[in-house]
Structure 1
Amino acid sequence: MIKVNGLKSCDTCKKALKWLEVEGLEHAFRDVRADVVTLSEVKRWGTAVGWDRLVNKASTTWRGLSDAEKEAATGSGAAQLLVDNPTLIKRPVFEMGDAVIVGFKADQQAALKAG
C-alpha cells in the first residue's frame, strides 16, 4: 500500500489521489496538517530524498520566514522547521515500504507504478 502524505486542499495532492484511483493502486491519504507528522518521520523523509527536495521553498510559508529560519532549514534544522510548519513540506510525499518519493511529475508517477 502507498501512503500519501499531503494537504487535502493541495491541488497536486488531489491530482495524485485521483491518478492513484485510476491506476488501481492501493493507497491511504494523510493530511499532515490534521494528523501531525513526527520529527522521526520528517528526518526519515529528509534522509531519503534530501532536504532541498523536501523543503518547499516556493510556498507562502517559506516566504514568510525570517532569514535566520531559512538559514536553519538545512539538515536536522530543517526537520524541526517542517514539523512546526507542515505546509513547508513539498507535496505529496509518498511512502512505499522504505522508499520515499516526493512530488508528482512523470518520474514520480513511473516510480509509483513500478512499486
Structure 2
Amino acid sequence: MILIGYKKCSTCRKTEKFLEEAGVEFVYREIDKDNPSVEELKKWHEISGLDIKKFFNTSGIIYREKKLKDKLPNLSLEEKYELLATDGKLVKRPILLDGEKIYVGKDAVNFAEETT
C-alpha cells in the first residue's frame, strides 16, 4: 500500500496514524517532494472512476491563487492532468493506493479508519 500525503496536513497525519495502529504496511510518499506524473494521475483517475475535479485540492492556496475554480471548466482533461502534475500541493490528499483501488481525500481517511 502507498500513502501519498503531505506531512503538514492533519488529514494525512490522521490517515497515517490509523494505518500504523492497524499494523498496515505502507510506503509514505511526500506529495510536495515527489509530484505525481501525468501518467500516474491518468492511471489513478481511470482506476478511481472519480471526476477529475476530485483530484484537485480545492481548499489549497495554489488553487485559490490561480483562480482555478473559474479556469478548470475551460481546460481539457489532458490540461488538467498537466496542471496537477506541476505541483503536488494542487493534488487532493491523502491518496491511498491499494493494489487496483484508489482512495482520495476523506475516502482515504475512512478506509484507513475502517482497517483499525
- Structure 1 gaps, min length 5: none
CA separation in 1, counterparts of 2:81 and 2:19?
28
The reply to whether residue 44 of structure 1 matches residue 46 of structure 2 is no
Quick check: 1:45–1:54 contact (8 Å CA) kept in 2? no
Report sequence identity in percent: 26
TM-score by length of 1: 0.81
Matched, 1:56 2:57: yes
TM-score (norm 2): 0.81
1:107, CA displacement in angstroms? 7.7
Structure 2 unaligned segments of length 5 or more: list them: none
Point out which structure has higher relative CO (alpha carbons under 8 A, 6+ apart): 2
Aligned length: 112
Q: 1:9 maps to which residue? A: 8
Distance 2:76 2:113 in 1: 26
Instruction: Measure the CA separation in 2 of the matches of 1:18 and 1:111.
Output: 9
Q: Once superposed, what is the RMSD of the aligned Cα atoms?
A: 2.5
**Distance (Å, rounded) in 1 between the aligned partners of 2:45 and 2:95:** 11
User: Conserved in 2, the CA contact under 8 Å of 1:82 and 1:88?
Assistant: yes
